[in-house]
Protein backbone atom coordinates (compact mmCIF):
# COMPACT_ATOMS: atom_id res chain seq x y z
CA UNK A 1 0.00 0.00 0.00
CA UNK A 2 1.22 3.51 -0.80
CA UNK A 3 1.33 6.01 2.05
CA UNK A 4 -0.35 9.37 1.66
CA UNK A 5 2.97 11.07 0.74
CA UNK A 6 3.84 8.45 -1.87
CA UNK A 7 0.38 8.78 -3.41
CA UNK A 8 1.01 12.47 -3.99
CA UNK A 9 4.32 11.74 -5.67
CA UNK A 10 2.65 9.03 -7.74
CA UNK A 11 -0.07 11.45 -8.77
CA UNK A 12 2.51 13.97 -9.96
CA UNK A 13 4.31 11.26 -11.92
CA UNK A 14 1.09 10.15 -13.57
CA UNK A 15 0.18 13.72 -14.44
CA UNK A 16 3.63 14.35 -15.89
CA UNK A 17 3.45 11.15 -17.95
CA UNK A 18 0.06 12.11 -19.32
CA UNK A 19 1.34 15.56 -20.19
CA UNK A 20 4.33 14.13 -22.06
CA UNK A 21 2.13 11.68 -23.91
CA UNK A 22 -0.06 14.54 -25.02
CA UNK A 23 2.82 16.36 -26.73
CA UNK A 24 2.93 14.23 -29.92
CA UNK A 25 -0.82 14.49 -30.28
CA UNK A 26 -0.63 18.26 -29.96
CA UNK A 27 2.19 18.37 -32.52
CA UNK A 28 0.18 16.20 -34.91
CA UNK A 29 -2.80 18.51 -34.54
CA UNK A 30 -0.61 21.52 -35.33
CA UNK A 31 0.91 19.99 -38.47
CA UNK A 32 1.96 21.66 -40.60
CA UNK A 33 3.45 24.39 -38.42
CA UNK A 34 5.94 25.60 -41.04
CA UNK A 35 6.34 25.64 -44.84
CA UNK A 36 6.55 22.31 -46.67
CA UNK A 37 9.10 21.72 -49.44
CA UNK A 38 8.50 19.68 -52.59
CA UNK A 39 11.88 18.62 -54.01
CA UNK A 40 11.34 17.96 -57.73
CA UNK A 41 13.67 15.62 -59.59
CA UNK A 42 13.52 17.56 -62.89
CA UNK A 43 14.32 21.00 -64.19
CA UNK A 44 11.69 23.78 -64.17
CA UNK A 45 9.09 23.48 -66.91
CA UNK A 46 9.18 19.69 -67.26
CA UNK A 47 5.92 17.82 -66.69
CA UNK A 48 6.81 16.65 -63.15
CA UNK A 49 7.70 20.22 -62.22
CA UNK A 50 4.39 21.57 -63.54
CA UNK A 51 2.48 18.81 -61.72
CA UNK A 52 4.39 19.55 -58.51
CA UNK A 53 3.59 23.26 -58.68
CA UNK A 54 -0.10 22.64 -59.35
CA UNK A 55 -0.42 20.30 -56.37
CA UNK A 56 1.76 22.51 -54.19
CA UNK A 57 -0.64 25.40 -54.74
CA UNK A 58 -3.74 23.40 -53.92
CA UNK A 59 -2.14 21.49 -51.04
CA UNK A 60 -1.07 24.79 -49.54
CA UNK A 61 -4.64 26.00 -49.66
CA UNK A 62 -5.93 22.79 -48.08
CA UNK A 63 -3.38 22.74 -45.24
CA UNK A 64 -3.27 26.53 -44.89
CA UNK A 65 0.49 26.52 -45.19
CA UNK A 66 3.05 27.50 -47.81
CA UNK A 67 4.38 24.71 -50.05
CA UNK A 68 7.70 25.58 -51.69
CA UNK A 69 8.92 23.86 -54.87
CA UNK A 70 12.66 23.25 -55.15
CA UNK A 71 14.12 21.78 -58.35
CA UNK A 72 16.99 19.34 -57.92
CA UNK A 73 17.31 17.89 -61.40
CA UNK A 74 20.13 15.69 -62.68
CA UNK A 75 21.41 12.11 -62.63
CA UNK A 76 18.02 10.71 -63.66
CA UNK A 77 16.47 11.83 -60.39
CA UNK A 78 19.22 10.46 -58.16
CA UNK A 79 20.20 13.90 -56.83
CA UNK A 80 16.67 14.66 -55.65
CA UNK A 81 16.25 11.19 -54.15
CA UNK A 82 19.42 11.65 -52.12
CA UNK A 83 18.38 15.08 -50.90
CA UNK A 84 15.01 13.85 -49.66
CA UNK A 85 16.25 10.57 -48.22
CA UNK A 86 18.75 12.52 -46.10
CA UNK A 87 16.24 15.19 -45.02
CA UNK A 88 14.65 15.16 -41.55
CA UNK A 89 11.67 12.79 -41.48
CA UNK A 90 9.40 15.42 -39.97
CA UNK A 91 6.83 15.87 -42.73
CA UNK A 92 8.29 19.05 -44.17
CA UNK A 93 10.25 17.60 -47.09
CA UNK A 94 8.79 15.48 -49.90
CA UNK A 95 10.04 14.19 -53.24
CA UNK A 96 8.02 14.71 -56.41
CA UNK A 97 9.38 12.52 -59.18
CA UNK A 98 8.65 10.16 -62.05
CA UNK A 99 7.98 6.46 -62.34
CA UNK A 100 11.48 5.93 -63.72
CA UNK A 101 13.16 7.38 -60.65
CA UNK A 102 11.24 5.15 -58.26
CA UNK A 103 10.90 1.94 -60.28
CA UNK A 104 13.73 1.59 -62.81
CA UNK A 105 16.66 3.41 -61.21
CA UNK A 106 17.23 0.63 -58.66
CA UNK A 107 17.93 -1.72 -61.58
CA UNK A 108 19.62 0.75 -63.93
CA UNK A 109 21.94 1.98 -61.17
CA UNK A 110 22.52 -1.14 -59.04
CA UNK A 111 25.25 0.57 -56.97
CA UNK A 112 23.45 3.80 -56.14
CA UNK A 113 19.80 3.44 -57.18
CA UNK A 114 18.73 1.40 -54.16
CA UNK A 115 18.20 4.58 -52.13
CA UNK A 116 14.90 5.02 -53.97
CA UNK A 117 13.79 1.81 -52.27
CA UNK A 118 15.49 2.00 -48.89
CA UNK A 119 15.42 5.73 -48.19
CA UNK A 120 11.87 6.73 -49.08
CA UNK A 121 8.30 6.13 -47.92
CA UNK A 122 5.55 6.09 -50.59
CA UNK A 123 2.83 8.73 -50.20
CA UNK A 124 0.74 8.60 -53.37
CA UNK A 125 0.80 8.55 -57.15
CA UNK A 126 -0.25 12.05 -58.16
CA UNK A 127 -1.09 11.64 -61.84
CA UNK A 128 -0.87 9.28 -64.78
CA UNK A 129 0.87 10.57 -67.91
CA UNK A 130 0.03 7.82 -70.37
CA UNK A 131 2.02 6.79 -73.40
CA UNK A 132 0.75 6.26 -76.94
CA UNK A 133 2.38 4.21 -79.70
CA UNK A 134 2.33 6.04 -83.03
CA UNK A 135 3.69 5.54 -86.54
CA UNK A 136 4.67 7.87 -89.35
CA UNK A 137 1.83 8.08 -91.93
CA UNK A 138 4.00 7.05 -94.89
CA UNK A 139 4.63 3.70 -93.22
CA UNK A 140 1.04 2.70 -94.08
CA UNK A 141 0.51 1.03 -90.71
CA UNK A 142 -2.97 1.80 -89.41
CA UNK A 143 -3.18 -0.32 -86.27
CA UNK A 144 -1.30 -2.70 -83.99
CA UNK A 145 -2.23 -5.72 -86.11
CA UNK A 146 -0.56 -4.07 -89.10
CA UNK A 147 2.49 -3.29 -87.01
CA UNK A 148 2.84 -6.85 -85.74
CA UNK A 149 2.43 -8.27 -89.24
CA UNK A 150 5.06 -5.91 -90.69
CA UNK A 151 7.51 -6.52 -87.85
CA UNK A 152 7.19 -10.29 -88.22
CA UNK A 153 7.63 -10.08 -91.97
CA UNK A 154 10.67 -7.81 -91.61
CA UNK A 155 12.19 -8.60 -88.18
CA UNK A 156 14.54 -5.92 -86.87
CA UNK A 157 13.95 -3.56 -89.80
CA UNK A 158 11.51 -1.11 -88.19
CA UNK A 159 13.00 1.64 -86.04
CA UNK A 160 11.30 3.02 -82.91
CA UNK A 161 12.32 6.42 -81.54
CA UNK A 162 12.25 7.10 -77.80
CA UNK A 163 13.90 9.34 -75.26
CA UNK A 164 17.12 8.39 -73.46
CA UNK A 165 18.45 4.90 -72.92
CA UNK A 166 16.73 3.47 -69.85
CA UNK A 167 13.98 6.10 -69.87
CA UNK A 168 10.34 5.15 -69.31
CA UNK A 169 9.62 5.52 -73.03
CA UNK A 170 12.63 3.40 -74.00
CA UNK A 171 11.70 0.61 -71.61
CA UNK A 172 8.07 0.78 -72.73
CA UNK A 173 9.21 0.08 -76.29
CA UNK A 174 11.32 -2.85 -75.10
CA UNK A 175 8.41 -4.32 -73.15
CA UNK A 176 6.09 -3.84 -76.14
CA UNK A 177 8.43 -5.89 -78.33
CA UNK A 178 8.47 -8.68 -75.78
CA UNK A 179 4.70 -8.64 -75.20
CA UNK A 180 3.84 -8.56 -78.91
CA UNK A 181 6.42 -11.18 -79.83
CA UNK A 182 8.11 -8.97 -82.40
CA UNK A 183 11.46 -7.32 -82.97
CA UNK A 184 12.39 -3.80 -84.00
CA UNK A 185 15.31 -1.47 -83.31
CA UNK A 186 14.80 0.91 -80.39
CA UNK A 187 16.85 4.09 -80.75
CA UNK A 188 17.28 6.50 -77.84
CA UNK A 189 17.33 10.26 -78.37
CA UNK A 190 18.20 13.24 -76.21
CA UNK A 191 14.66 14.23 -75.31
CA UNK A 192 11.16 13.80 -76.71
CA UNK A 193 11.61 16.59 -79.24
CA UNK A 194 14.49 14.84 -80.96
CA UNK A 195 12.59 11.55 -80.96
CA UNK A 196 9.63 13.25 -82.62
CA UNK A 197 11.88 14.87 -85.21
CA UNK A 198 13.39 11.48 -86.06
CA UNK A 199 9.94 10.16 -86.95
CA UNK A 200 8.81 13.30 -88.76
CA UNK A 201 12.08 13.24 -90.71
CA UNK A 202 11.61 9.58 -91.71
CA UNK A 203 14.69 8.45 -89.77
CA UNK A 204 12.40 6.36 -87.53
CA UNK A 205 9.14 4.54 -88.09
CA UNK A 206 7.53 4.41 -84.65
CA UNK A 207 7.34 6.72 -81.67
CA UNK A 208 6.79 5.77 -78.04
CA UNK A 209 5.93 8.98 -76.22
CA UNK A 210 3.46 10.62 -73.87
CA UNK A 211 0.00 11.57 -75.05
CA UNK A 212 0.82 15.15 -74.06
CA UNK A 213 3.62 15.34 -76.62
CA UNK A 214 1.99 13.18 -79.30
CA UNK A 215 -1.64 14.38 -79.29
CA UNK A 216 -1.08 17.64 -81.23
CA UNK A 217 0.83 15.73 -83.92
CA UNK A 218 -1.90 13.10 -84.10
CA UNK A 219 -4.52 15.82 -84.49
CA UNK A 220 -2.42 17.42 -87.21
CA UNK A 221 -2.15 14.17 -89.15
CA UNK A 222 1.61 13.91 -88.66
CA UNK A 223 1.43 10.74 -86.56
CA UNK A 224 -0.90 7.73 -86.75
CA UNK A 225 -2.02 6.50 -83.30
CA UNK A 226 -1.89 2.72 -82.89
CA UNK A 227 -2.57 2.14 -79.19
CA UNK A 228 -2.39 3.72 -75.76
CA UNK A 229 -0.37 1.77 -73.25
CA UNK A 230 -2.58 2.17 -70.16
CA UNK A 231 -5.24 -0.26 -68.90
CA UNK A 232 -8.09 1.98 -70.08
CA UNK A 233 -8.69 4.24 -73.02
CA UNK A 234 -7.49 7.79 -72.61
CA UNK A 235 -10.05 10.54 -72.29
CA UNK A 236 -7.74 12.56 -74.52
CA UNK A 237 -7.66 9.94 -77.31
CA UNK A 238 -10.97 8.14 -76.80
CA UNK A 239 -10.98 6.47 -80.22
CA UNK A 240 -7.55 4.89 -79.80
CA UNK A 241 -7.65 1.35 -78.34
CA UNK A 242 -5.48 0.13 -75.53
CA UNK A 243 -2.67 -2.22 -76.51
CA UNK A 244 -4.54 -5.06 -74.81
CA UNK A 245 -7.67 -4.27 -76.80
CA UNK A 246 -5.51 -4.33 -79.92
CA UNK A 247 -4.29 -7.82 -79.13
CA UNK A 248 -1.08 -7.32 -77.11
CA UNK A 249 -2.07 -9.37 -74.07
CA UNK A 250 -0.69 -8.33 -70.70
CA UNK A 251 0.90 -5.12 -71.96
CA UNK A 252 -0.04 -2.30 -69.58
CA UNK A 253 2.30 0.63 -68.91
CA UNK A 254 1.67 4.07 -67.52
CA UNK A 255 4.04 6.95 -67.03
CA UNK A 256 3.33 8.83 -63.84
CA UNK A 257 4.38 11.45 -61.33
CA UNK A 258 4.32 10.63 -57.63
CA UNK A 259 5.25 11.91 -54.20
CA UNK A 260 7.34 10.22 -51.52
CA UNK A 261 8.75 11.16 -48.13
CA UNK A 262 11.88 10.33 -46.13
CA UNK A 263 11.65 6.73 -44.92
CA UNK A 264 10.93 7.44 -41.24
CA UNK A 265 8.25 10.09 -41.76
CA UNK A 266 5.37 9.29 -39.36
CA UNK A 267 2.47 7.42 -40.94
CA UNK A 268 0.01 9.96 -39.49
CA UNK A 269 1.70 12.79 -41.39
CA UNK A 270 1.87 10.75 -44.60
CA UNK A 271 -1.84 10.05 -44.35
CA UNK A 272 -2.61 13.70 -43.62
CA UNK A 273 -0.73 14.82 -46.73
CA UNK A 274 -2.20 12.08 -48.92
CA UNK A 275 -5.73 12.94 -47.77
CA UNK A 276 -5.18 16.65 -48.43
CA UNK A 277 -3.78 15.88 -51.89
CA UNK A 278 -6.78 13.63 -52.60
CA UNK A 279 -9.13 16.47 -51.65
CA UNK A 280 -7.17 18.85 -53.87
CA UNK A 281 -7.54 16.43 -56.76
CA UNK A 282 -11.31 16.84 -56.58
CA UNK A 283 -11.15 20.54 -57.32
CA UNK A 284 -12.39 21.58 -60.75
CA UNK A 285 -9.58 24.09 -61.17
CA UNK A 286 -6.91 21.43 -60.66
CA UNK A 287 -8.71 18.96 -62.93
CA UNK A 288 -8.78 21.56 -65.68
CA UNK A 289 -5.07 22.31 -65.27
CA UNK A 290 -4.21 18.62 -65.38
CA UNK A 291 -6.35 18.13 -68.49
CA UNK A 292 -4.21 20.73 -70.24
CA UNK A 293 -1.23 18.46 -69.51
CA UNK A 294 -3.14 15.41 -70.78
CA UNK A 295 -2.86 14.03 -67.26
CA UNK A 296 -5.42 12.77 -64.78
CA UNK A 297 -5.21 12.53 -61.01
CA UNK A 298 -4.84 9.15 -59.27
CA UNK A 299 -4.07 9.88 -55.59
CA UNK A 300 -4.17 6.32 -54.33
CA UNK A 301 -3.51 5.32 -50.72
CA UNK A 302 0.07 4.96 -49.46
CA UNK A 303 -0.51 1.21 -49.16
CA UNK A 304 -1.81 0.86 -52.73
CA UNK A 305 1.03 3.00 -54.04
CA UNK A 306 3.60 0.87 -52.19
CA UNK A 307 2.13 -2.29 -53.73
CA UNK A 308 2.24 -0.70 -57.19
CA UNK A 309 5.90 0.21 -56.72
CA UNK A 310 6.73 -3.36 -55.78
CA UNK A 311 5.00 -4.76 -58.87
CA UNK A 312 6.52 -2.27 -61.29
CA UNK A 313 10.02 -2.63 -59.88
CA UNK A 314 9.88 -6.37 -60.45
CA UNK A 315 8.53 -5.92 -64.00
CA UNK A 316 11.12 -3.35 -65.05
CA UNK A 317 13.97 -5.25 -63.41
CA UNK A 318 13.14 -8.20 -65.66
CA UNK A 319 12.93 -6.00 -68.79
CA UNK A 320 16.19 -4.19 -67.96
CA UNK A 321 18.09 -7.43 -67.38
CA UNK A 322 16.73 -8.96 -70.58
CA UNK A 323 17.79 -5.89 -72.56
CA UNK A 324 21.17 -5.87 -70.76
CA UNK A 325 20.90 -2.17 -69.88
CA UNK A 326 23.13 -0.66 -67.20
CA UNK A 327 23.87 3.01 -66.66
CA UNK A 328 26.66 2.51 -64.12
Sign of CA dihedral 236, 241, 245, 250: negative
User: For residues 92 and 273, what is the distance between their CA atoms, to the nearest angstrom?
Assistant: 10
The enclosing H or E element of 225 equals strand 224-228
Q: How many CB atoms lie within 10 A of CB 111?
A: 7
- pLDDT of 112 reads 87
Q: Who's near 281: CB < 8 A, 6+ residues apart?
A: 287, 297, 299
Those residues whose C-beta lies under 8 Å from the C-beta of residue 254, and which sit 6 or more positions away, are: 99, 128, 129, 130, 131, 229, 230, 231
Return the bridge partners of 297, or none.
127
- At 8 the pLDDT is 42
Q: What does pTM read for this prediction?
A: 0.86
Domains detected in the chain = 34-128+255-322 (3.40.190.150), 131-228 (3.40.190.10)
Q: How many CB atoms lie within 10 A of CB 86?
A: 11
pLDDT for position 28: 52
Chain centroid offset of residue 5 CA: 62
Q: Can you give the pLDDT of all 328 residues of the chain as single tens digits?
A: 333 344 444 444 444 344 444 444 434 568 999 999 999 999 999 899 999 999 999 999 999 999 999 999 988 899 999 999 999 999 999 999 999 999 999 999 988 899 999 999 999 999 999 999 999 999 999 999 999 999 999 999 999 999 989 899 999 999 999 999 999 999 999 989 999 999 999 999 999 999 999 999 999 999 999 999 999 999 999 999 999 999 999 999 999 999 999 999 999 999 999 999 999 999 999 999 999 999 999 999 999 999 999 999 999 999 999 999 988 8
Task: For Cα atoms 47, 87, 67, give the angle at the middle one, nearest 5 degrees.
Answer: 50
Under a CB-based contact definition with an 8 Å cutoff, are residues 133 and 227 in contact?
Answer: yes
Would you state the pLDDT for residue 328? 83
Secondary structure of residue 157 in the 3-state scheme: coil
- 3-state DSSP assignment of residue 49: helix
Q: Which pLDDT score, from 0 to 100, does residue 292 have?
A: 94
Q: Which helix (H) or strand (E) holds 161?
A: strand 159-162
Query: Residue 307: what pLDDT?
Result: 98
pLDDT at 29: 63
Sequential DSSP letters for 231-269: SS--TTSTTSPBTTTTT-TT----EEEEEEEETT--HHH
Q: How far apart are CA 214 and CA 209, in angstroms?
A: 7
Amino acid sequence: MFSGGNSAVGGVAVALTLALCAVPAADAQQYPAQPITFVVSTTPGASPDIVARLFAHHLGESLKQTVVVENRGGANGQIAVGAVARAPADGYTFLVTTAATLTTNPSLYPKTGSLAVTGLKPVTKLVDLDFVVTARPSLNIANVQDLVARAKAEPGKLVAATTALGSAAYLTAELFKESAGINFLTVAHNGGGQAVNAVLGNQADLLFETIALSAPLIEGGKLVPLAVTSNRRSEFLPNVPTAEEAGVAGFVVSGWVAIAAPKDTPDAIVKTVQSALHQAGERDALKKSLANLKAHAVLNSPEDFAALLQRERAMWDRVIKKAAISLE
